Amino acid sequence: HVDGLFLAIGSTPNTKVFADQLARDVAGYLCLVKGQQTSVEGVFAAGDICDPFVKQAVSASSMGCQAALQAKEYLDGIGYSAAVQSAPLRSVVAEVEHQNNLETEITSLAVAKQLVKASSNKLLVVDLYGNYCIPCQKMAPIFASCAQDYAGRVSFAKLNVSDRGIDLNEFTRLVKTEKITQVPTFLFIKQGKVVLRKSALMTKEALVEMIESQDSSTLLT
């Protein structure tokens, strides 16, 4: 006969799924490096799985807030934008490619050289993007729409900065511009040299204005 019963559960941290991925202590708790960051950059933890002492909902909530803020800071640093939500980049690119084949994918320095040479007599616009970048996802259909509008008058190409098949530093030297440190970055190339460079999420109207500013022959009729 008892007046009440309190079930104390969760004494063992449920972290086995991360055994081969994140550092854990002897008791199985995830090890934190700085704040809520785990042993892997970009992975943050909160709550009882990394708290062997307090184990309370209020402290877990506080840790969750810290982890969220750290995650946002990390994502901002690599090009994410929390204000923009879109479909995964691969699905966006797949949809664009289904609509038209007006954008050349630069997969090697050889392809880049051929493209620059072939576009020597007209404006070449290159979209440098990353698979991890949400602003890049937003720009993909805008860039594709411009490629369609300017078909035959302006060349358009895309370069995935995550692709290990091309040395980004060699590419920047090829088109005579500074190193790429942010995505999306748009390079406007004339006669093999970057004449305008913009690193930002923008509207189609803004992109069109930049295209037209570089060559009067590209004005839409």
Range with the poorest average pLDDT among 62-66, 80-84, 116-120, 121-125: 80-84
**Does this model's pTM top 0.75?**
no
Asked whether the predicted pLDDT for residue 115 surpasses 60, the reply is yes
* Run of H or E including 67: helix 57-77
Q: Which long-range contacts (CB under 8 A, 24 or more apart) does 99-103 make?
A: 99/144, 99/148, 100/144, 100/147, 100/148, 100/151, 102/144, 102/147, 102/148, 102/151, 102/156, 103/127, 103/143, 103/144, 103/147, 103/156, 103/157, 103/158
Contact 172, 159 (CB under 8 A): no
Name which residue leads in pLDDT, 92 or 36.
36
For all residues of the chain together, what is the average pLDDT? Answer: 85
Rounded Cα–Cα distance for residues 45 and 31 (Å):
9
Range with the poorest average pLDDT among 83-87, 88-92, 94-98, 211-215: 94-98
* Residue 125: closest CA among 81, 155, 94, 160: 155
